[in-house]
Protein backbone atom coordinates (compact mmCIF):
# COMPACT_ATOMS: atom_id res chain seq x y z
CA UNK A 1 0.00 0.00 0.00
CA UNK A 2 1.24 3.50 -0.83
CA UNK A 3 -0.66 5.25 1.96
CA UNK A 4 1.54 6.07 4.97
CA UNK A 5 0.93 4.32 8.28
CA UNK A 6 0.22 6.49 11.33
CA UNK A 7 0.27 4.67 14.67
CA UNK A 8 -1.47 6.24 17.68
CA UNK A 9 -1.85 5.13 21.30
CA UNK A 10 -4.47 6.81 23.48
CA UNK A 11 -3.92 7.74 27.12
CA UNK A 12 -3.20 4.73 29.30
CA UNK A 13 -2.05 2.63 26.34
CA UNK A 14 1.12 4.52 25.41
CA UNK A 15 3.63 1.98 26.85
CA UNK A 16 2.04 -0.85 24.86
CA UNK A 17 1.83 1.39 21.80
CA UNK A 18 5.52 2.26 22.08
CA UNK A 19 6.41 -1.44 22.01
CA UNK A 20 4.23 -1.99 18.95
CA UNK A 21 5.88 1.00 17.26
CA UNK A 22 9.36 -0.38 17.91
CA UNK A 23 8.42 -3.68 16.28
CA UNK A 24 7.05 -1.77 13.29
CA UNK A 25 10.17 0.38 13.07
CA UNK A 26 8.22 3.63 13.30
CA UNK A 27 7.54 6.29 15.93
CA UNK A 28 4.18 6.80 17.60
CA UNK A 29 2.31 9.65 15.94
CA UNK A 30 1.37 12.62 18.11
CA UNK A 31 -2.17 13.65 18.94
CA UNK A 32 -3.88 15.80 21.54
CA UNK A 33 -6.00 14.70 24.49
CA UNK A 34 -7.40 17.16 26.97
CA UNK A 35 -9.69 16.78 30.01
CA UNK A 36 -11.98 19.59 31.11
CA UNK A 37 -13.07 20.43 34.64
CA UNK A 38 -16.69 19.56 33.88
CA UNK A 39 -15.75 15.95 33.05
CA UNK A 40 -15.78 16.31 29.28
CA UNK A 41 -12.72 15.63 27.16
CA UNK A 42 -11.43 16.17 23.65
CA UNK A 43 -9.23 13.86 21.55
CA UNK A 44 -7.91 15.68 18.49
CA UNK A 45 -6.50 13.99 15.36
CA UNK A 46 -3.60 15.64 13.48
CA UNK A 47 -4.02 16.87 9.90
CA UNK A 48 -1.12 14.64 8.83
CA UNK A 49 -3.42 11.59 8.71
CA UNK A 50 -5.16 12.84 5.56
CA UNK A 51 -4.96 10.12 2.93
CA UNK A 52 -3.10 7.77 5.26
CA UNK A 53 -3.79 4.56 7.17
CA UNK A 54 -4.38 5.43 10.84
CA UNK A 55 -4.04 2.70 13.46
CA UNK A 56 -5.13 3.31 17.05
CA UNK A 57 -3.83 1.13 19.89
CA UNK A 58 -6.03 1.27 22.95
CA UNK A 59 -6.82 -1.21 25.72
CA UNK A 60 -10.39 -0.98 26.99
CA UNK A 61 -9.50 -2.27 30.45
CA UNK A 62 -10.86 0.03 33.13
CA UNK A 63 -8.54 1.84 35.52
CA UNK A 64 -8.87 4.31 38.39
CA UNK A 65 -10.71 7.34 37.08
CA UNK A 66 -11.21 5.82 33.61
CA UNK A 67 -13.85 3.10 33.33
CA UNK A 68 -14.03 0.74 30.36
CA UNK A 69 -17.00 2.76 29.13
CA UNK A 70 -15.07 6.03 29.24
CA UNK A 71 -12.09 4.48 27.48
CA UNK A 72 -14.42 3.18 24.79
CA UNK A 73 -15.98 6.62 24.42
CA UNK A 74 -12.57 8.27 23.92
CA UNK A 75 -11.68 5.66 21.33
CA UNK A 76 -14.92 6.22 19.42
CA UNK A 77 -14.40 9.99 19.37
CA UNK A 78 -10.83 9.58 18.13
CA UNK A 79 -11.74 7.08 15.40
CA UNK A 80 -14.46 9.48 14.17
CA UNK A 81 -12.03 12.41 14.31
CA UNK A 82 -9.50 10.48 12.24
CA UNK A 83 -12.19 9.86 9.63
CA UNK A 84 -13.30 13.48 9.65
CA UNK A 85 -9.68 14.60 9.23
CA UNK A 86 -9.35 12.49 6.10
CA UNK A 87 -7.75 9.17 7.05
CA UNK A 88 -8.32 6.73 4.20
CA UNK A 89 -8.43 3.73 6.55
CA UNK A 90 -8.71 3.31 10.31
CA UNK A 91 -7.59 0.17 12.15
CA UNK A 92 -8.36 -0.29 15.84
CA UNK A 93 -5.97 -2.51 17.80
CA UNK A 94 -7.46 -3.61 21.12
CA UNK A 95 -5.08 -5.47 23.44
CA UNK A 96 -8.11 -5.97 25.69
CA UNK A 97 -11.69 -5.89 24.40
CA UNK A 98 -13.93 -4.92 27.30
CA UNK A 99 -17.49 -6.29 27.41
CA UNK A 100 -16.44 -9.35 25.35
CA UNK A 101 -17.90 -11.69 27.98
CA UNK A 102 -21.36 -10.18 27.44
CA UNK A 103 -21.84 -12.25 24.28
CA UNK A 104 -25.02 -14.25 24.95
CA UNK A 105 -28.34 -13.93 26.74
CA UNK A 106 -28.82 -16.14 29.76
CA UNK A 107 -32.22 -14.61 30.42
CA UNK A 108 -34.66 -12.22 28.78
CA UNK A 109 -33.52 -8.60 28.69
CA UNK A 110 -29.78 -9.17 29.00
CA UNK A 111 -27.72 -7.12 26.54
CA UNK A 112 -25.42 -8.48 23.83
CA UNK A 113 -22.92 -5.78 24.68
CA UNK A 114 -20.06 -7.07 22.53
CA UNK A 115 -22.36 -6.64 19.50
CA UNK A 116 -23.20 -3.08 20.57
CA UNK A 117 -19.49 -2.27 20.91
CA UNK A 118 -18.94 -3.60 17.40
CA UNK A 119 -21.79 -1.44 16.06
CA UNK A 120 -20.37 1.67 17.72
CA UNK A 121 -16.86 1.11 16.37
CA UNK A 122 -18.17 0.54 12.87
CA UNK A 123 -20.40 3.63 13.07
CA UNK A 124 -17.43 5.73 14.19
CA UNK A 125 -15.52 4.63 11.09
CA UNK A 126 -13.35 1.62 11.98
CA UNK A 127 -12.40 -0.47 8.94
CA UNK A 128 -10.68 -3.26 10.87
CA UNK A 129 -10.44 -4.42 14.48
CA UNK A 130 -7.53 -6.44 15.88
CA UNK A 131 -7.60 -8.13 19.27
CA UNK A 132 -6.18 -11.17 21.05
CA UNK A 133 -7.70 -14.16 22.85
CA UNK A 134 -11.30 -13.03 23.11
CA UNK A 135 -13.63 -14.88 25.46
CA UNK A 136 -15.74 -16.35 22.65
CA UNK A 137 -14.21 -16.24 19.17
CA UNK A 138 -17.41 -17.07 17.29
CA UNK A 139 -19.36 -14.36 19.14
CA UNK A 140 -16.60 -11.83 18.40
CA UNK A 141 -16.50 -12.67 14.70
CA UNK A 142 -20.29 -12.62 14.39
CA UNK A 143 -20.60 -9.28 16.21
CA UNK A 144 -18.59 -7.32 13.63
CA UNK A 145 -19.38 -6.49 10.03
CA UNK A 146 -16.04 -4.78 9.43
CA UNK A 147 -12.86 -6.83 9.05
CA UNK A 148 -11.56 -8.52 12.18
CA UNK A 149 -8.21 -10.09 12.93
CA UNK A 150 -8.05 -12.33 15.99
CA UNK A 151 -4.63 -13.11 17.43
CA UNK A 152 -3.87 -16.34 19.29
CA UNK A 153 -1.56 -15.97 22.28
CA UNK A 154 -0.95 -19.73 22.61
CA UNK A 155 2.60 -19.52 21.24
CA UNK A 156 3.57 -16.97 23.89
CA UNK A 157 2.65 -19.35 26.70
CA UNK A 158 4.02 -22.45 24.97
CA UNK A 159 7.39 -20.76 24.56
CA UNK A 160 7.38 -19.62 28.19
CA UNK A 161 6.48 -23.00 29.69
CA UNK A 162 8.49 -25.15 27.25
CA UNK A 163 11.66 -25.36 29.41
CA UNK A 164 9.53 -26.64 32.29
CA UNK A 165 7.78 -29.20 30.07
CA UNK A 166 11.12 -30.56 28.86
CA UNK A 167 12.16 -31.42 32.41
CA UNK A 168 8.88 -32.41 34.11
CA UNK A 169 5.59 -34.14 33.42
CA UNK A 170 3.06 -31.43 32.62
CA UNK A 171 -0.74 -31.42 32.40
CA UNK A 172 -2.61 -28.46 30.90
CA UNK A 173 -5.89 -27.90 32.76
CA UNK A 174 -9.04 -26.14 31.54
CA UNK A 175 -10.87 -24.50 34.48
CA UNK A 176 -14.24 -25.33 32.90
CA UNK A 177 -15.72 -27.19 29.95
CA UNK A 178 -15.81 -24.06 27.81
CA UNK A 179 -12.03 -23.72 28.02
CA UNK A 180 -11.15 -27.20 26.73
CA UNK A 181 -10.31 -26.04 23.22
CA UNK A 182 -8.04 -23.32 24.57
CA UNK A 183 -6.30 -25.82 26.84
CA UNK A 184 -5.94 -28.30 23.98
CA UNK A 185 -4.26 -25.67 21.79
CA UNK A 186 -1.73 -24.99 24.54
CA UNK A 187 -1.23 -28.70 25.15
CA UNK A 188 -0.45 -29.32 21.48
CA UNK A 189 1.86 -26.32 21.19
CA UNK A 190 3.65 -27.17 24.43
CA UNK A 191 4.15 -30.80 23.40
CA UNK A 192 5.65 -29.62 20.12
CA UNK A 193 7.94 -27.10 21.85
CA UNK A 194 9.05 -29.59 24.51
CA UNK A 195 9.33 -32.61 22.22
CA UNK A 196 7.47 -34.86 24.66
CA UNK A 197 3.86 -35.71 25.57
CA UNK A 198 1.77 -33.25 27.59
CA UNK A 199 -1.47 -34.31 29.30
CA UNK A 200 -4.86 -32.60 29.32
CA UNK A 201 -7.49 -32.26 32.05
CA UNK A 202 -10.51 -30.14 32.84
CA UNK A 203 -12.51 -29.14 35.90
CA UNK A 204 -16.30 -29.24 36.03
CA UNK A 205 -17.90 -25.85 36.65
CA UNK A 206 -21.51 -24.73 36.94
CA UNK A 207 -22.44 -21.12 37.60
CA UNK A 208 -25.62 -20.14 39.46
CA UNK A 209 -25.52 -16.36 39.74
CA UNK A 210 -22.26 -15.66 41.56
CA UNK A 211 -22.01 -19.21 42.97
CA UNK A 212 -19.65 -21.75 41.34
CA UNK A 213 -20.22 -25.48 41.80
CA UNK A 214 -18.94 -28.77 40.37
CA UNK A 215 -16.62 -31.43 41.79
CA UNK A 216 -15.57 -33.52 38.79
CA UNK A 217 -12.03 -33.38 37.46
CA UNK A 218 -11.40 -35.32 34.24
CA UNK A 219 -7.77 -36.18 33.52
CA UNK A 220 -4.73 -37.21 35.54
CA UNK A 221 -2.66 -34.48 37.20
CA UNK A 222 -1.14 -36.69 39.94
CA UNK A 223 2.58 -36.07 40.26
CA UNK A 224 2.53 -33.58 37.37
CA UNK A 225 2.94 -29.84 37.04
CA UNK A 226 -0.58 -28.56 36.40
CA UNK A 227 -0.86 -25.45 34.22
CA UNK A 228 -4.37 -24.01 34.45
CA UNK A 229 -5.05 -21.86 31.38
CA UNK A 230 -7.84 -19.33 30.81
CA UNK A 231 -8.42 -16.24 28.68
CA UNK A 232 -9.07 -13.86 31.58
CA UNK A 233 -8.37 -13.74 35.29
CA UNK A 234 -11.08 -11.47 36.67
CA UNK A 235 -11.93 -12.00 40.33
CA UNK A 236 -9.73 -15.09 40.32
CA UNK A 237 -12.37 -17.49 41.68
CA UNK A 238 -12.65 -19.70 38.58
CA UNK A 239 -8.89 -20.04 38.40
CA UNK A 240 -8.64 -20.66 42.16
CA UNK A 241 -11.16 -23.53 41.98
CA UNK A 242 -9.10 -25.22 39.27
CA UNK A 243 -5.86 -24.70 41.20
CA UNK A 244 -7.36 -26.25 44.33
CA UNK A 245 -8.82 -29.16 42.37
CA UNK A 246 -5.42 -29.83 40.81
CA UNK A 247 -3.80 -29.83 44.26
CA UNK A 248 -6.46 -32.14 45.65
CA UNK A 249 -5.89 -34.58 42.80
CA UNK A 250 -2.17 -34.80 43.50
CA UNK A 251 -0.49 -32.18 41.28
CA UNK A 252 3.13 -31.62 42.29
CA UNK A 253 2.91 -27.89 41.41
CA UNK A 254 0.09 -25.64 40.23
CA UNK A 255 0.66 -22.79 37.79
CA UNK A 256 -1.71 -20.34 36.11
CA UNK A 257 -1.70 -18.91 32.60
CA UNK A 258 -4.06 -16.23 31.26
CA UNK A 259 -3.82 -13.63 28.54
CA UNK A 260 -5.77 -10.84 30.22
CA UNK A 261 -4.71 -10.00 33.79
CA UNK A 262 -7.79 -8.02 34.84
CA UNK A 263 -7.29 -9.01 38.51
CA UNK A 264 -10.37 -7.28 39.90
CA UNK A 265 -10.34 -6.57 43.64
CA UNK A 266 -8.29 -9.05 45.73
CA UNK A 267 -7.80 -11.52 42.85
CA UNK A 268 -4.06 -11.85 43.49
CA UNK A 269 -4.73 -12.86 47.10
CA UNK A 270 -7.47 -15.27 46.02
CA UNK A 271 -4.96 -17.11 43.82
CA UNK A 272 -2.21 -17.05 46.44
CA UNK A 273 -4.63 -18.51 48.99
CA UNK A 274 -5.43 -21.30 46.51
CA UNK A 275 -1.79 -22.41 46.62
CA UNK A 276 -0.58 -20.91 43.35
CA UNK A 277 3.11 -21.59 42.73
CA UNK A 278 3.52 -19.15 39.85
CA UNK A 279 2.29 -18.37 36.38
CA UNK A 280 2.31 -16.13 33.33
CA UNK A 281 0.05 -13.44 31.91
CA UNK A 282 0.27 -11.23 28.84
CA UNK A 283 0.67 -7.46 28.92
CA UNK A 284 -2.77 -6.60 27.51
CA UNK A 285 -4.23 -5.12 30.72
CA UNK A 286 -2.16 -2.36 32.29
CA UNK A 287 1.00 -4.19 31.18
CA UNK A 288 0.17 -7.03 33.57
CA UNK A 289 0.95 -4.84 36.58
CA UNK A 290 -2.00 -6.09 38.64
CA UNK A 291 -0.89 -9.72 38.54
CA UNK A 292 1.76 -9.39 41.22
CA UNK A 293 5.11 -11.03 41.81
CA UNK A 294 4.04 -14.65 41.23
CA UNK A 295 3.47 -13.99 37.53
CA UNK A 296 5.80 -13.47 34.60
CA UNK A 297 4.47 -10.88 32.13
CA UNK A 298 4.75 -11.88 28.46
CA UNK A 299 5.06 -9.26 25.72
CA UNK A 300 2.31 -9.58 23.09
CA UNK A 301 3.14 -6.35 21.22
CA UNK A 302 5.05 -8.16 18.45
CA UNK A 303 1.84 -10.05 17.54
CA UNK A 304 -0.04 -6.77 17.19
CA UNK A 305 2.74 -5.21 15.14
CA UNK A 306 2.69 -8.21 12.83
CA UNK A 307 -1.08 -7.92 12.42
CA UNK A 308 -0.94 -4.18 11.74
CA UNK A 309 1.81 -4.64 9.16
CA UNK A 310 -0.21 -7.42 7.52
CA UNK A 311 -3.31 -5.22 7.28
CA UNK A 312 -1.32 -2.23 6.06
CA UNK A 313 0.50 -4.18 3.34
CA UNK A 314 -2.55 -6.22 2.36
CA UNK A 315 -0.83 -9.55 2.88
CA UNK A 316 -1.79 -12.58 5.03
CA UNK A 317 -0.44 -12.95 8.54
CA UNK A 318 2.67 -15.17 8.63
CA UNK A 319 1.73 -18.75 9.47
| Domain spans, the chain | 5-151+301-313, 153-282
The model's pLDDT over 225-253, given as tens digits with 9 standing for 90+, comes to 999 999 999 999 999 999 999 999 999 99
Measured distance CA(277)–CA(239) in Å, rounded: 13
Percent with pLDDT over 70 in the chain: 96
The model's pLDDT over 183-200, given as tens digits with 9 standing for 90+, comes to 999 999 999 999 999 999
Query: Where is 32: in which H helix or E strand?
Result: strand 32-35
Query: Where is 33: in which H helix or E strand?
Result: strand 32-35
User: Where does the pLDDT of residue 213 fall: very low under 50, low under 70, confident under 90, or very high at 90 and above?
Assistant: low
Structural contact between residues 30 and 46, judged by C-beta atoms closer than 8 angstroms: yes
Known catalytic residue: 205? yes
Q: Is the pLDDT of residue 3 over 70?
A: yes
Structural contact between residues 59 and 94, judged by C-beta atoms closer than 8 angstroms: yes
**What is the model's pTM?**
0.93
The pLDDT mean for the chain works out to 92
- The predicted structure's pLDDT at residue 70: 93
The model's pLDDT over 114-162, given as tens digits with 9 standing for 90+, comes to 999 999 999 999 999 999 999 888 999 999 999 999 999 999 999 999 9
Query: Where is 211: in which H helix or E strand?
Result: strand 211-213
Class of domain 153-282: alpha beta
> Domain 5-151+301-313 carries which CATH code?
3.40.50.2020
The model's pLDDT over 102-116, given as tens digits with 9 standing for 90+, comes to 777 777 787 889 999
Q: Is the pLDDT of residue 209 over 60?
A: no
- The predicted structure's pLDDT at residue 214: 59
- The predicted structure's pLDDT at residue 210: 54
Catalytic hit among 74, 205, 224, 247? 205
Measured distance CA(39)–CA(193) in Å, rounded: 50
The model's pLDDT over 267-278, given as tens digits with 9 standing for 90+, comes to 999 999 999 999
- The predicted structure's pLDDT at residue 212: 56
- The predicted structure's pLDDT at residue 63: 81
Rounded mean pLDDT of 300-306? 98
3-state DSSP assignment of residue 127: coil
Measured distance CA(192)–CA(85) in Å, rounded: 48
- The predicted structure's pLDDT at residue 41: 87
- The predicted structure's pLDDT at residue 319: 64
- CB burial readout 128-138, b (16+ within 10 A) else e: bbbbbbbbbbe
Amino acid sequence: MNAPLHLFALAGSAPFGQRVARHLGIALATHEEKDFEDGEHVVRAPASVRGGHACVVHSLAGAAGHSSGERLCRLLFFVAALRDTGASRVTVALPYLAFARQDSRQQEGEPLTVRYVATLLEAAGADAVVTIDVHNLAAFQNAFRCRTLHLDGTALFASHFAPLARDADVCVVAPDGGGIRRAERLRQALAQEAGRPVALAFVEKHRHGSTLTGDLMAGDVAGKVAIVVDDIIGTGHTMARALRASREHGAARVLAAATHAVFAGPAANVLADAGLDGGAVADTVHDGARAGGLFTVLDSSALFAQAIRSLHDGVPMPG
